[in-house]
Amino acid sequence: MPINKRTLLTILLTSSLLFVLGLYHFRRQQSADSLQTTLHQSSRTTPLSITARVHNHRFTPVTLLPWNTPLDPLAPQAGVFSVLDVDGVEVVPMWNRVGRQLPQEAVTILPGETREMVHQLGMWRLAKGAYVVKARWRWGEAEKDIEEAVAVEIDV
């Protein structure tokens, strides 16, 4: 039974549309997955500071909201970081109140680009010794959240 031109055109258009939608969904799913976040000790002076670096490994830009992530200037006060001593006991911070004003603009990380934010950890009173700084956050996107955690060993 031969297929008429109208049926063939409908099949081709439907297949093309499904392919484009699938490709779009795949690219959206992979956007925040492509970000690599690292923490590095920036200084050994008081107050101690660490640098958070976020690198985009994809070939497309990634746009994210930085609130409560390592790219948030208020990340230490927002509870993104925790500090543990060598025995794994968490050092309790002297919490500061976080008063946000208008929402911060979204951050776009271009392909191959690295964004950096230096955070002072003055909220923690640290005696001389070794510590582990942990960061935990979610990359908030329109379609999904990706939870990440990283750690770095520091010396005071």
Per-residue confidence of the chain (156 residues) as pLDDT tens digits? Answer: 677 888 878 888 888 777 776 666 555 544 556 788 888 888 877 778 889 998 998 888 888 888 888 888 888 888 888 888 888 888 888 776 666 665 567 888 899 999 999 988 888 888 788 888 888 887 765 344 455 666 667 776
Q: Which residue has the tokens 């603009």?
A: 105
- Tokens for 6, please give them: 């109208």
Q: What pLDDT, on a 0 to 100 scale, did the predictor assign at position 146?
A: 53
Q: What pLDDT, on a 0 to 100 scale, did the predictor assign at position 81?
A: 86
Q: What pLDDT, on a 0 to 100 scale, did the predictor assign at position 2?
A: 72
CA distance 110 to 107: 10
Q: What pLDDT, on a 0 to 100 scale, did the predictor assign at position 103?
A: 55
The answer to whether the beta carbons of residues 60 and 23 sit under 8 Å apart is no
Q: Which residue has the tokens 């379609």?
A: 143
Q: What are the angstrom distances between the C-alpha of 147 and each of 22, 28, 135, 140?
A: 24, 16, 11, 9
Q: Which residue has the tokens 């970000």?
A: 35
Q: What pLDDT, on a 0 to 100 scale, did the predictor assign at position 143?
A: 40
Q: What pLDDT, on a 0 to 100 scale, did the predictor assign at position 101?
A: 64
